[in-house]
């Protein structure tokens, strides 16, 4: 990566093989739920990973989904009715963030013979079990243990994530003690059952702060096979640009799908999330309106300078992805170098997109069995 002239950047932007840039309108949503869909269609086999939201009734599963993926405010979730049937939703907003999320009613046992466990728990994905930290969680731990053992028996490759939820009403000491107690009890039960090879990941979450977004970011990242490539690209970018921290965000949900190898500071992540909110709101009000109601274009960027000599710098990577960087003010004096390096980074992301598309096309073709295609013929074809 090297420095560049303004003419070179303009030529690259106009003729270089970058992503198709744009962004979503303010009222954009991923798509409506389809809860009346037949269960055989909900669990139809495809290449998308699944995230299964499970837990006891009123533990906060539906609130999590609505806040993270539907921009519902936390206070609005107080009026949500309890889920009484499976709610399925496809998240397909970029080449990297593509999965199906399924919200399961807490009062139904999906291991009963009337349900097909293979369809529910089979395939690539993660099971997110939500525990209400403000309630007596002994029953929830018992359900967690039963669910993990049965699901692991059906699909040994399924990932297990535990959200210790609603911690906003607990003191810091109580949060730590609750997490330690749940972690200890859950793992002890697995050891007693002879299943110590099962790994559980634990997160303290609340819909009233950014902890739920960070936790979901970690879950989604484990489902992205290109994650090591993205992290390496971010490491190269920040090391050649004098940047302290960089996040690759799914702008709509504020999930970061990748970051560099340095540790994630919660305060830095919250700053980046708030910057995205500011950019979206201002772009929606003052952005170009060319009939498509797209507030962003390929020139969109934002710079926020804080009073502690820190700069937040946002550049849009694709229609749904944005790169948010944190750097010192003196490093931003070389903005030309940073911008050129960003163009190289964006082109590399596009190359990974293209590889991903080819892989999906090959997988789709392999799912179309020649035996099935010729099953209605009377004889061999020539």
Q: At 160, which CATH number? A: 3.40.50.300
Burial of residue 116 (number of CB atoms within 10 Å: 0-12, 13-18, 19+): middle
Same domain, 144 and 53: yes
3-state secondary structure of 305: strand
- Whether residues 53 and 135 fall in one domain: yes
Rounded distance between C-alpha atoms, residue 314 and residue 339, angstroms: 11
- Mean pLDDT on 157-171: 94
175, 135: one domain? yes
Each residue's pLDDT tens digit, 107-133: 887 777 777 888 888 888 999 999 999
First CA to last CA distance, the chain: 54
**Number of independent structural domains in the chain:** 2
The answer to whether residue 3 sits within a structural domain is no
Note whether 258 and 173 are same-domain residues. Answer: no
Strands 310-316 and 321-328, bridge-based pairing: antiparallel
Q: Do 156 and 280 fall into the same domain?
A: no
Q: Which of 318, 311, 326 has its CA nearest to residue 234?
A: 326
Mean pLDDT of 29-45: 41
Whose CA is closest to 56, among 28, 76, 82? 82
Provide the pLDDT confidence category of residue 151 given band limits of 50, 70 and 90. very high
Q: Tell me whether residue 6 is in a domain.
A: no
* Cβ-contact 278, 319 below 8 angstroms: no
pLDDT of residue 372: 38
- In eight-state DSSP terms, residue 382 is -
Mean pLDDT over each residue of the chain, to the nearest integer: 81
User: Measured between alpha carbons, how far is 70 from 32 in angstroms, rounded to an integer?
Assistant: 10
For residues 236 and 359, state if they share a domain: yes
| Domain final position from 166, 194, 222 | 222
What was the pLDDT predicted at 64? 93
CA distance 327 to 315: 14
Backbone angles phi, psi at 127, to 5 degrees: -110, 120
In a domain, 182, yes or no: yes
* Domain final residue, candidates 222, 252, 271: 222
255-296: pLDDT as tens digits: 999 999 999 999 999 999 999 888 888 877 876 655 544 455
Q: Looking at residue 298, which CATH number applies to its domain? A: 3.30.450.190
Cut 0.95: pTM above it: no
**Left, alpha or beta for 193 (phi > 0: left; psi -120 to 50: alpha)?**
alpha
Name the domain boundary from 194, 222, 250. 222
Give the pLDDT confidence of 220-235 residue by residue, as tens digits. Answer: 999 988 899 999 999 9
Whether 164 maps to a domain, the answer reads yes
Q: What is the DSSP letter of 236?
A: H
Pair 199, 52 in one domain: yes
Q: What pLDDT does 149 receive?
A: 93
For residue 71 the two structure tokens come to 């921009």
* pLDDT interval class at 363 (50, 70, 90): low
Q: How far is CA 223 from the centre of its chain?
A: 9
Report pLDDT digits (tens) over 344-355. Answer: 999 999 888 887
* Token digits of residue 46: 């495809």
Are the CB atoms for 329 and 354 separated by under 8 Å? no
Cα 147 to Cα 140, 267, 286, distances in angstroms: 10, 34, 49
What's the pLDDT band for 88 if we cut at 50, 70, 90? confident
| pLDDT of 134 over the 80 cut | yes
**Predicted local confidence at residue 301, as pLDDT:** 86
- The answer to whether residue 4 is domain-embedded is no
Whether 290 maps to a domain, the answer reads: yes
Regarding whether 169 and 206 lie in a shared domain, the answer is yes
CB atoms within 10 A of CB 3: 11
For the segment 8-22, the average pLDDT, to the nearest whole number, is: 40
Q: Which domain holds residue 80?
A: 48-222
Q: Are residues 170 and 259 both part of a single domain?
A: no
**Strand 98-103 relative to strand 50-55, pairing:** parallel
Same domain, 188 and 279: no
Classify residue 143: in a domain, yes or no.
Answer: yes
Q: Which two tokens stand for residue 344?
A: 């190289």
Please say if the pLDDT value at position 44 is more than 50.
no
DSSP string, 159-191: EEEEEEE-GGGS-HHHHHHHHHHHHHHHHHHHH
| Contacts for 4 with CB less than 8 Å, ≥ 6 apart | 336, 337, 339, 340
**227 Cβ contact partners less than 8 Å away, ≥ 6 residues apart:** 221, 257, 258
Residues 125 and 62 in one domain: yes
Q: Between 290 and 216, name the one with better pLDDT.
A: 216
Top pLDDT among 70 and 181 is at: 181
Would you say residue 42 lies in a domain? no
For residues 144 and 193, state if they share a domain: yes
């Amino acid at each position: 990566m090297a420095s560049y002239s303004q003419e070179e950047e303009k030529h690259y932007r106009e003729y270089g093989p970058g992503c198709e840039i744009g962004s979503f309108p303010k009222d954009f949503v991923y798509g409506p739920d389809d809860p009346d869909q037949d269960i055989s269609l909900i669990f139809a086999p495809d290449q998308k990973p699944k995230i299964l939201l499970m837990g006891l009734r009123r533990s906060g599963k539906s609130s999590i989904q609505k806040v993270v993926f539907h921009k519902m405010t936390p206070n609005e979730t107080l009026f949500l009715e309890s889920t009484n049937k499976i709610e399925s939703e496809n998240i397909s907003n970029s080449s990297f963030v593509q999965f199906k999320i399924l919200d399961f009613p807490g009062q139904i046992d999906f291991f009963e013979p009337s349900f097909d466990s293979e369809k529910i728990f089979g395939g690539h994905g993660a099971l997110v079990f939500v525990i209400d930290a403000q309630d007596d969680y002994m029953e929830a731990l018992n359900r967690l243990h039963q669910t993990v053992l049965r699901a692991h028996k059906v699909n040994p490759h399924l990932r297990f994530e535990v959200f210790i939820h609603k911690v906003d009403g607990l003191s810091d000491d109580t949060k730590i003690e609750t997490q330690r107690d749940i972690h200890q009890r859950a793992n002890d039960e697995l050891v007693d059952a002879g299943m110590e090879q099962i790994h559980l990941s634990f997160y303290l979450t609340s819909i009233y702060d950014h902890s739920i977004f960070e936790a979901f970011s970690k879950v989604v990242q484990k489902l992205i096979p290109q994650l090591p490539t993205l992290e390496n690209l971010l490491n190269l970018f920040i090391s050649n640009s004098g940047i302290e921290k960089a996040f690759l965000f799914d702008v709509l949900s504020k999930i970061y799908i990748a970051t560099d190898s340095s540790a994630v500071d919660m305060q830095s992540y919250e700053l980046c999330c708030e910057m995205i909110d500011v950019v979206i709101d201002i772009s929606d009000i003052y952005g170009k309106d060319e009939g498509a109601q797209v507030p962003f274009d390929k020139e969109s960027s934002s710079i926020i300078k804080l009073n502690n000599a820190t700069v937040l710098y946002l550049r849009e990577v694709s229609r749904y992805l944005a790169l948010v960087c944190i750097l010192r003010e003196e490093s931003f004096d070389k903005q030309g170098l940073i911008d050129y390096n960003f163009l190289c980074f964006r082109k590399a992301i596009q190359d990974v997109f293209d590889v991903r598309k080819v892989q999906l096309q090959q997988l789709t073709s392999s799912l179309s069995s020649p035996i099935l295609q010729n099953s209605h013929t009377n004889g061999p074809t020539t």
